Chain A
Amino acid sequence: MYQAMILEGVPRSLQSRGRKGRKAYMRWIAAAYAGKCGGYKFESLIPLYARIVIFESLHVTGGGPDVDNIAKPILDALKGEAYQDDRTFARLYIERRDLEDVETGMEALQMDESVLADALALASDSRAKSFFYVEIGADESAEFIFHRRS
């Protein structure tokens, strides 16, 4: 069981200045989850994983925030929305892929069709300089990259 969504924009860093902006960012993440994933809430006792993939035009964003500072604001935003306790997270996987690279790969079969459609729309939109994929699921398998279909 997993939930996934694509969000447009540059993910915000834990180190970003401005509490007000951070709160707005977290509200935006929570609202997106409610809209795209139907507000699904994982059981409190099962171990979870999170996967975050940032697709961005590095020459435009300048590399964006460090990947190690990206996860916490996203997971904090989803606390109470998708899960109850941070300690249920057993694994976290974050990567950055350069949209300006001559080759960008997507594991299309592992992404839900609606999520892939969102990703394709943004990948083909020259105005979209950054988007990111967020996936949370039950950590029941070693194969969790873009999650296995059932």
Chain B
Amino acid sequence: MDSVGSHLERAKILEIRDRLAAEGYRVQEEAPATGPLRYDLLAEKGGRRIAYEVKYVDHLRDSKDEVLRIRRAALEQGLDDLKLIIVRKPRQVSMHIDNLENALYEHAVRARLDWAGNLPAGTQVEDVHDVAVNSITINAKGTRVQGDGMITVEIGPGKEPDSFESFPLEYSIVLGHDMRIASVEKFQVDTSSFVQ
């Protein structure tokens, strides 16, 4: 058994246990099933008994007979259901768009008055950073990119020198085939935390 799979199984068991307990079930871990086999969880509520068996997908191949034996035990014990939960590692999707931070920065500089909100006049955009891409939609017209990030500004005259503030940013833009911004659907900076 690999440790990542075992860890994922254990984490899922605890998650289900806590969820069931919050729903008012009495939950027993490692409840006896048959012989040495045990249900990962046995939940009881209102006379209804449901067993849970959690398997990491790569462990499932060697555990099929065990699952079937546990199923037979659940039937013999008159349980109401046996839920088999197959867990996997979360898929990691790598997304990178060339020049995205720079394109957002240039838009922020060009359109400062549109998003600056309550920031004093003269505030300068310093940087757009920690940009995350939450979704990409590609069609013939271009690439719509939605996500969030941070924008750092230097607060305008009247504040101390080197007075930088960072604010969260949400954006939705359409990139043309030259990967430049063709249109901006949303460029929203939350400056509510700024106090003059």
Chain A complexes with chain B: yes
Tell me if A104 and B85 are in contact (CB < 8 A): yes
- 1/0 per residue, CB under 8 A from B, across A99-128: the answer is 011111111111001001100110111000
Do the beta carbons of B75 and A108 come within 8 Å of each other? no
Query: Which residue, B68, B72, B86, has most C-beta atoms of chain A within 10 A?
Result: B86
Taking the complex as formed, is A17 at the interface, i.e. its CB lies under 8 A from any CB of chain B?
no
Q: Mark A77-119, 1 if CB is under 8 A from B, else 0.
A: 0000000000000000000000011111111111001001100
Q: Does A59 contact B (CB under 8 A)?
A: yes
List residues of chain B with CB within 8 A of the CB of A110.
Answer: 81
- Residue in B53, B80, B81, B84 whose Cβ sees the most chain A Cβ within 10 Å: B84
Check if B87 sits within 8 Å of A59, measured CB to CB. Answer: no
Contacts of A121 in B (CB 8 A): 64
A106 B60 Cβ-Cβ under 8 A? no
**Chain A contacts of B88 at CB under 8 A?**
100-104
User: How many residues belonging to A are interface residues under a CB distance threshold of 8 Å?
Assistant: 21
Which of chain B's residues has its CB closest to A101's CB?
Answer: B88
CA distance A3 to B122 in the complex (A): 74
Q: Is A102 in contact with B89, judged by CB distance below 8 angstroms?
A: yes
Q: Which residues of B contact A116 (CB under 8 A)?
A: 67-68, 71
Instruction: List CB contacts (< 8 Å) of B28-69 with chain A.
Output: 53, 57-58, 60-61, 64, 67-68
> How many angstroms from the CA of A149 to the CA of B53 in the assembled complex?
19
Contact of B68 (CB < 8 Å), options: A59, A117, A124: A117
* In-complex Cβ contact of A105 among B64, B83, B91 (8 A): B83
Contact, CB under 8 Å: A100 / B91: yes
Minimum CB–CB distance for A28 against chain B, Å: 25
Residue B74 at the A interface, CB < 8 A?
A: yes
Beyond A100-B91, A102-B89, A102-B90, whether A108 also contacts B61 by CB under 8 A is no
Contacts of A117 in B (CB 8 A): 64, 68
The number of chain B residues with a CB under 8 A from chain A is 26
How close is B154's CB to chain A, nearest CB, in angstroms?
A: 42
Q: Chain B residues with Cβ under 8 A from A106's Cβ?
A: 83-84, 86
A51 to chain B, nearest CB (A): 16
Residues of A within 8 A of B90 (CB): 102
Task: Please give, as numbers and ranges, the residues of chain A lying within 8 Å of B60 by CB-CB distance.
Answer: 120, 123-124
Instruction: Tell whether B79 is near chain A: CB-to-CB under 8 Å.
Output: yes
List 30 A-B residue pairs with CB atoms under 8 Å apart, sorted by A's residue number: A102-B87, A102-B88, A102-B89, A104-B85, A104-B88, A105-B84, A106-B83, A106-B84, A106-B86, A107-B81, A107-B84, A108-B53, A108-B71, A108-B74, A108-B81, A108-B82, A109-B74, A109-B79, A110-B81, A113-B68, A113-B71, A116-B68, A116-B71, A117-B64, A120-B64, A120-B67, A121-B64, A123-B86, A124-B58, A149-B75
Apart from the given pairs A102-B87, A105-B86, A109-B79, 6 other A-B contacts in the complex at a CB distance below 8 Å? A102-B88, A105-B85, A108-B74, A108-B82, A117-B64, A124-B64
